[in-house]
Chains A and B, each alone.
Chain A
């Protein structure tokens, strides 16, 4: 009798060393240390919020 096939383990997803690319095509590295996607997302959110606020103030 054939034994049940072993359950395939999902390959661990490898985190990219880059967090994005600038308009010049420069790959921005993920800063070393305890920087996960959440802390990076928070940083991007904070920058975007301030820029949007300044843009709105400039329009007024």
Chain B
């Protein structure tokens, strides 16, 4: 298990993309390594195996369970609406690894996020006793929660406050499309791998 790796468990849909980049950016800006199922491009590795491997390697886990709802489009999906279970499932895997994964895995630490307080008690009551943090559904409040959690759990007083990181993130996202084009990449189809190296490079410039 790597003491600097942070597993990101969140939707990868287009309407969540800004928040996903915000989490990844905050993790990098705080001196940690963001990890998620999008990082590997090996068709030979099944998705479940990949997620288990990454979870095993990560000491920290950020889980946004706010998208546990009914999604899809009625016109395109005969089975519409269906719930999205991936986030609670991966949260369960992470907590399971911490409980049953052996002595090293017990050091895991978890941040659970939702956009409404106490809502999880209705759809995920088995995690009662955990204390999910509430954010406003936007990138700035999400960054504030993640930065504060990493500063405390990572014992890193040098991590700046969420407002500072949020301002840096906004400045980075403003130049991000041009940075992609300068590197001969399409900003709409950027990979997690490329986002990480651009964000890391931007923080040092």
A residues sitting closer than 8 Å to B (CB atoms) are 19-22, 24-35, 39-40, 42-51, 53-54
Contacts and interface: CB of A to CB of B under 8 A. Distances in A.
A33 B195 CA distance: 12
Interface of B: 4, 28-33, 35, 39, 156, 158-160, 175, 178-180, 182-183, 193-194, 196-198, 200-205
Contacts of B203: 20, 22, 28
A50 B173 CA distance: 12
Q: Which of B30, B158, B183: most chain A Cβ within 10 A?
A: B183
A42 B196 CA distance: 13
A54 B182 CA distance: 13
A43 B201 contact: yes
B159 A20 contact: no
13 contacts: A20-B204, A24-B158, A24-B160, A26-B156, A29-B28, A40-B200, A43-B197, A43-B201, A44-B201, A46-B179, A46-B180, A46-B182, A47-B198
A47 B205 contact: yes
Given A19-B201, A28-B204, 19 more contacts: A19-B204, A20-B204, A22-B29, A26-B29, A28-B31, A31-B193, A31-B196, A32-B35, A34-B193, A43-B179, A43-B201, A45-B182, A46-B180, A46-B182, A46-B183, A47-B201, A47-B202, A50-B179, A54-B175
A29 B198 contact: no
Interface of B is mostly: helix
Contacts of A48: 205
A48 B193 CA distance: 19
Given A47-B179, A50-B179, A33 B29 contact: no
Given A29-B4, A29-B32, A53-B178, A46 B205 contact: no
A22 to B, nearest CB: 5
Nearest to B171: A51
Nearest to B34: A31
Contacts of A39: 197
B33 A31 contact: yes
B182 A50 contact: yes
